[in-house]
Amino acid sequence: MEQMLNRVPIGALTDFPERLGKTVTVGQKEIAVFKLSNGRIKAIENKCPHRGGVLADGMVSGEHVFCPMHDWKISVVDGKVQAPDEGCVQTFRTEIEDGQVYILVKD
């Protein structure tokens, strides 16, 4: 049986600065949320798979964030670490409605 997704409000669109990460906590999950230069909102697990670096503190370039600890390049679209490094972080769907940002998480 498929789990339902909860639609959790995480702030107004204006709360998210462009090309900077923001940490939000939903239940037990710490999530890094980014507003890309194209205005899209992306959300990923806030922990680099390498050494646990806080991804919300990383530099954003295009659709990637660079881990502040060891500069690993991670896609904010699919969560994949870019070669030559390996790994993946969980991604979360987001929605924007009436200027409010929502994140979709499993129950």
C-alpha 13: how far from its chain's center? 14
Q: What are phi and psi of 68, to 5 degrees?
A: -70, -15
Instruction: Quick: pLDDT tens for 88-104.
Output: 999 999 999 999 999 99
Q: Which domain holds residue 67?
A: 5-106
**Backbone region of residue 83 per phi and psi (left: phi > 0; alpha: psi in -120 to 50; beta: other values):** beta
Instruction: Quick: pLDDT tens for 59-88.
Output: 999 999 999 999 999 999 999 999 999 999
Q: What's the structural domain count of the chain?
A: 1
pTM of this structure: 0.92
Instruction: Quick: pLDDT tens for 11-42.
Output: 999 999 998 999 999 988 999 999 999 989 99
State the CATH number of the domain containing residue 54.
2.102.10.10
